Chains A and B, each alone.
Chain A
Amino acid sequence: MFIYKLKYILIFFILSILPIKIVIADGEFTTQKPSLGKIVSIKEINAVDFVVMPDGDGLPIGSGSVESGKELFTMHCQACHGLDGVNGINGDLSGGHGTINGPVPKKTVGSYWPYATILFDYIRRAMPYQSPGILSNDEIYALSAYILYINNIIDEKEVITQKTIVDVEMPNSQNFIWAYPKKD
């Protein structure tokens, strides 16, 4: 008896909400998003995250000297960028200092770049051109040190680390402005 009654109550209940349900379903059709993104662990993210910020965020712990950088440069970079980073088949990595506001600006790491952190970021992403990814973090710091050295930005004895690379004062760093966001 009780079960019999319950059945009716249930049917009545379902009937009473049916039209409303359709309306809800209709709404879901247009506004519901599939939400299929899978949660990724920090470890997995670290493996795909190459981003280095000018304040040093994203830089791994490590260090490298000008001296070891010179050796690495000869081995991995000189063939394209030339002896001491000039006159190679690809772009010069030093020179042009003081030309940026002159009649013929020559842009290089030393004459133009606003932050030294870009060196680590870019070499880690893309260089050496034919086999990116082969360098260790210490080697990338060493190459950054060497490229800063050939631009007379640091001296021969200096060691570049995840901390010191942030503090390097690039000669042209004060000469950049942001066109975005637009000031009316």
Chain B
Amino acid sequence: MKKKKFNFTFSADNGLVDRRCFLKSGFGVGAGMMVAGANASEGKYRDDWMRKPGSGMGESGPSIHESHIKRSNVASQPGTLGSGASRTPLQFLDGIITPSRLHFERHHSGIPDINPQSHRLFIHGLVDRSLSFSMNDLQRYQHVSRIQFLECSGNSGAMIAPNAPQRDVSQIHGLVSCSEWGGIPLNILLDEAGIKPEGKWIVASGADAAVMSRSVPLEKIMDDAIIATHQNGEPIRPSNGYPMRLFLPGWEGNACVKWLKTIKVTSGPSMTKDETSKYSDLRDDGIAELFTFPMGVKSIITSPSPGLDLLERGIYQISGIAWSGSGKIKQVELSADGGKTWAKAELDSHVLSKSLTRFRSAWKWNGTQSSLMSRAIDDQGNIQPNREHWLKGRAINTFYHYNAIQSWSVNSKGKINNVYL
């Protein structure tokens, strides 16, 4: 079969293909034809699995051929099992939804096994009435559901190392996931309790063994916080806070307290261990910033990426995710020449506020050393910084809220490495 010839137009240097090429030309080369062989009946070919009925219905997991797609780097503090993190295998996923079983984890004293029959949510403190709610009570309130990302503020922290860590996307950036979160707007429950005028913050505590706690400004709580009971359509999983968690769209994951049990309305923050000792951002002048809640605008090329090496020269899809804790992704720009020239990536149709957004482009790899980068801009005008700019002003081992541009270098053999540019 003769291969069709195309004349590409490029949107930036080193092979970033103008998307209009594809629209016009009906791109694609016909797959090699299957030859009807010994297993043919009347000249028609059947794969092995087409020659007898498949298995029955009921519970089913992912294909056994995809068993490598699992949470990676499960690591806990020495001597503990549940004081650590596991990561989302972003480089093997597409679209914007993270399957619940692959949602990253970050716990401080393991995953509690909570009986929903006896679990109660308490709202107390500077309120007119201290109230408790059972799960049955809560199911009667009008719910909302939204597709939004959740990111640990320690995500990508490995990138502060002086030499670029040679790990894959999941290991470096896998503490971000995106789900459809369903639950009850928290302002409805707080209105029911009646907030006293002195009430300005809340302190949320979980029903885990660490009684994990964070202080959150009431302004955020009344704006768009929810008590999440559902994740991707099913009851939230134990590793994500079953039977309910606090969900603060766009804000650092640690503040979205899992296994939520109490909400105390207070006049100010409680200064819990996790908002002072941890999750505070130390500057190089010795001043530490508390309450750096929103996650910055960020993007990562998930494919090609380390471990997904290029086997031959030719056309590849560049695919990745972009998000911002402040709003919607407005634009993602791609460079294949280490940031010298940039072209706009295409965004998938779901461009939602405080959600992952999938971006794509076609790229023609000509077999030479290339550097792939993506840069996101949100609708509030925030632009993803480069690494040098991000590091500026921060103390040497401060790693929270890392959102700098990621560069992957492709060598002439198609092997992909993490590089600092």
Contact = CB atoms under 8 A, between A and B. Distances in A.
B411 to A, nearest CB: 34
Nearest to A126: B210
B209 interface: yes
A36 B140 contact: yes
Interface in B275-291: 276-277, 280-282, 284-291
B193 interface: yes
Given A51-B203, A101-B285, A125-B211, A179 B290 contact: yes
B30 interface: no
A176 B290 contact: yes
B291 A180 contact: yes
A38 interface: yes
Contacts of B191: 33
A177 interface: yes
A114 interface: yes
Contacts of A36: 133, 137-138, 140-141
Contact residues of A: prevailing secondary structure = loop
B221 to A, nearest CB: 13
Interface string A27-43: 00000011111111110
A1 interface: no
A77 to B, nearest CB: 12
Contact of A51 (B129, B130, B205): B205
Given A34-B141, A126-B109, A132 B210 contact: yes
Nearest to A38: B132
B287 A175 contact: yes
B213 A177 contact: no
Interface in A122-171: 122, 125-126, 129, 132
Contacts of B282: 100, 105, 107
Nearest to A112: B277
Contact of B189 (A37, A48, A103, A118): A37
A40 B270 contact: no
B276 A113 contact: yes
A179 B277 contact: no
Interface in B177-235: 188-189, 191-193, 203, 205, 209-213, 217, 219
Nearest to A109: B277
A105 B273 contact: no
A135 to B, nearest CB: 13
A104 interface: yes
Among B219, B282, B285, B288, the most chain A Cβ lie within 10 Å of the Cβ of: B288
A49 interface: yes
A42 B127 CA distance: 12
B395 interface: yes
Contacts of A37: 123, 129, 131-133, 137, 189, 192-193
Contact of A121 (B83, B125, B270, B292): B270
Contact of B130 (A39, A104, A175, A177): A39
A113 B203 CA distance: 19
A53 B290 CA distance: 16
B124 interface: yes
A21 B395 CA distance: 65
Nearest to B280: A176
Contacts of A129: 79-80, 83, 109
Contacts of A176: 276, 280, 287-290
B108 A126 contact: yes
Interface stretch (B21-29, B260-268, B367-375): B260-268
B110 to A, nearest CB: 10
Interface in B139-163: 140-142
B270 A54 contact: yes
B291 A179 contact: yes
A90 B396 contact: no
Given A42-B130, A126-B209, A126-B273, 18 more contacts: A33-B141, A36-B133, A37-B193, A49-B264, A50-B205, A51-B270, A53-B266, A58-B270, A89-B79, A100-B286, A101-B286, A103-B396, A112-B288, A113-B277, A122-B272, A129-B83, A175-B288, A178-B291
Interface of B: 77-80, 83, 108-109, 122-125, 129-133, 137-138, 140-142, 188-189, 191-193, 203, 205, 209-213, 217, 219, 261-262, 264, 266, 268, 270-273, 276-277, 280-282, 284-293, 395-397
